[in-house]
A = this chain, B = another copy of it.
Amino acid sequence: MKNVKCCRCVKCGKEHAAKPDVTTCDCGGILDVIYDYDYIKTIFDKNTLKHRAEPTMWRFRELLPIEEDTVPKGLRVGMSPLYEVPNIAADLGIQKLYIKDDGVNPTASLKDRASAMAVTKACEAGYDTIACSSTGNAASSLAGNAAKAGLKTYIFVPSRAPKGKIAQLMMFGANLTAVDGSYEETFELSKAAIDKYGWYNRNAAINPYLGEGKKTVAHEMIEQLGFHAPDFVAVSVGDGCTVAGVYKGLYDMYMVGLIDRIPRIISVQAEGCCPINTAVMTDTPWRPQEENTYADSIAVGVPRNPDKAISAIKNSGGICVNVTDDEIREAQKYLARNAGVFGEPAGVTATAGLMKLSREGRLPHDATVVSIVTGNGLKDIDSAIQSAGEPVHCKNDLAEFEAKFGL
C-alpha cells in the first residue's frame, strides 16, 4: 500500500506494519492508520472523483487502506443519499440542513462500510472465517457482506438485540450466539473465542481498518456538498468508532486539500448511556456507565473506542449533547414525516440532538449542518410501532371510514 505509512498506537505512539490482520498495540492501545497524504495528493483530487463512475465507498480508494490490486469484496456499500431539507432547517432556525441517509446501505446501516472493509481485508489476509461482537448492526452487516464474499462468520450479539437484526443474521447464515448479558460481556466472549480459534477479528476498535471504512461517509458528504465543508456534522455516538471514523474522513479531505477547514462534530448520546460525552463535557477520563436507553445501537456502557472518539470531538472543537429516549422517539417521527427518512432509534439520535440544541438556542442561525442517519427504522419495528401508534381499522364501508377520520 503506497498510500499507507503504518499503523500507529494512539496511546504510546509505537508504529506497526500495516498488515491486513493487525489488531491492537502491545500496550493495549488502539491503532490509527497513518497515510502519506503528500503521495496521495499526487494521484487524487477533485478531478479523480469527477471521472469515476463507481457509485460505492471504494470511489475513495486512494484514501483507503487496501492494496492497489485488491478487488473489494462484499456488497455494494456507500454513496448513500444526502438530502437537503429546507423545511427542517427553517424549523430548527439554521441556514441549511442535510440528512445523510445511511440506512439505505445493503444491510440497512452505516456499519456496512466497516464490514465491507473487514471482508476485503480478511480476503487480502487469506482468512476463511471472520468474527465479531456487536450491538446488532455491525453483526448483520458482517453477516451479509461475508455471505456475498463467501466467508464463514461467528457472531455474538447481546440477547436484547432487536428482532430485525436477529432475522438478518439468521437469514445470512451466521453462526450466531445471543449472549445473555451486556454488550461488554458479549464482547468478552467474542474475544475469548477469537483468541482461541484465530478467526479474522472484526471487533470495532480492535481492528484498525473498520473506522477506515466508516470514514467514507464523511468523504461522500464532502463530495456531495461540492467540496464545501459544512459548519457542523451531527453523529450519534455509542462505542465511539463511528464518530472517530467521521472525523478521520473529514481530516482526510482536509489533508488532501479538498476542504479548507474541518467541520465541528456534534456528538449526541443517550442520557441513559453517555460515557464519552460525560468525559468530554467534564474533561475527565471516561468511566463505564449503565446501558439505560432503548436506542440499542448506542447502548454501550463500556465504549471500545473512547480515545479516538474523545480526540475527534475535542480536535474538531465539537459540541456534546445528550438526549432522552422520549426526545429520540420524537425525532424519529419528526424526521420520517418531514424528510421521508425512517431511521432506527440510534439512527435518528443525531437529529434529536440538533432539535435539542435548537430549542436551547445553541445553533448559529447561519449554520450549515449535516446530520447522519446511521440505520434504517425497519431494524426495530416493535419500538417504531410503539412510538408511531397503530392504524385505524375499518371494514370496506365508506361511512365507517369517514367517521373514523372525521371527514
Contacts and interface: CB of A to CB of B under 8 A. Distances in A.
Give the bracket for the number of chain A residues in contact with chain B.
35 or more
B391 A164 contact: no
Nearest to A107: B342
Given A106-B101, A168-B377, A401 B175 contact: no
A150 interface: yes
Contacts of A388: 167, 170-171
Interface string A67-103: 0000000111001010100010000000000000100
A55 interface: yes
A187 to B, nearest CB: 9
Nearest to A397: B189
Nearest to A382: B163
Nearest to A385: B167
A135 to B, nearest CB: 14
Given A147-B336, A192-B398, A339-B147, A393 B106 contact: no
A384 interface: yes
Interface in A184-211: 185-186, 188-189, 192-193, 196-197
Contacts of A377: 167-168, 171
Interface string A389-402: 11111111110011
A401 B177 contact: yes
A407 interface: yes
A160 to B, nearest CB: 12
Contacts of A157: 391
A145 interface: yes
A332 B178 CA distance: 22
A1 interface: no
Contact of A189 (B104, B193, B337, B401): B401
Nearest to A185: B396
B178 A75 contact: no
Given A55-B79, A340-B147, A178 B391 contact: yes
Given A167-B377, A171-B377, A377-B171, A393 B340 contact: no
Closest 3 CB pairs of A and B: A148-B340, A170-B388, A378-B378
